[in-house]
Structure 1
Amino acid sequence: MRRNSTLIPKRISAIRFTLMDPNEIRRMSAVEVKTADTYKDDGHAFRQGLMDSRMGVIEPGIRCETCGNKYDECPSHFGHIQLELPVIHIGFVNLLKRTLKSTCNTCSQILLHDAKGTHPSNPELS
């Protein structure tokens, strides 16, 4: 940012946190992983395996098939696994619980404090 630039304060009207939907994950994914195999007998990674070089590489001298960078320059890219049924990610359970506890049950606004009378728009709802 330039030192002489004029900063104009802005008010945030909303923040929305979501998980990526399955279609977005597939669109952004570098590869669909279809096998748990990693390397062939000749030392090369299995195509559509856990070490597919489209997700990045870990061996010096080999370039990533997605970005063309070497192992120490590639940011890495994620793949996806197509499951038969939806699965709840256990890692999000506590986050979901905390998020729900931090919003008002009546109006869904974010609760800023635990103290009574501190509801963002109606102190009686705290």
Structure 2
Amino acid sequence: MTAYQYATAGICMDTGKLKYVSRKEAKRVVRLKGWRDMSVYACPDCSHIHIGGWHGVKDRIAHRELHGTDRVEPEPQVPIEDAAAELGVSTDAIRRAIAVGAARGTDTHIHHGDLARLRECTWRTP
């Protein structure tokens, strides 16, 4: 088993995908991992580079015909208890973040992209 090291700039808040620091780096990852039918593209939301697949279609036009052009917002999917444990904060802190609009979610779940953003900005004491 080979460990790959590559430069990323965190996680995209809109897609949940890794943000690569350059197109060259993303292409290197595709090559090293031996992925086929994967494309490297600039995200219209975060302006970083992502890796994505065509899901069995041959070009962008066919992909849009199959899946449509409207982006669908993923549902919140991380239980608040799990998010609080991962961040080292209380569940009330997560609920407050949702209540004031700092994160998307419900009383029981937080959006996975917002959890990633909170993970990057949460201060932890040793």
Question: Which structure's CA Rg is the greater one?
Answer: 1
Question: Do the structures match in fold with TM over 0.5?
Answer: no
**Band the TM-score falls in, shorter-chain normalisation:** under 0.3
Name the TM-score, length of structure 1 as normaliser: 0.22
User: Which structure's residues are more often strand, by fraction?
Assistant: 2
Q: Flag the structure with higher helix content.
A: 2
Structure 2 length normalisation: TM-score? 0.22
Bigger RCO of structures 1 and 2 (CA < 8 A, at least 6 apart): 2
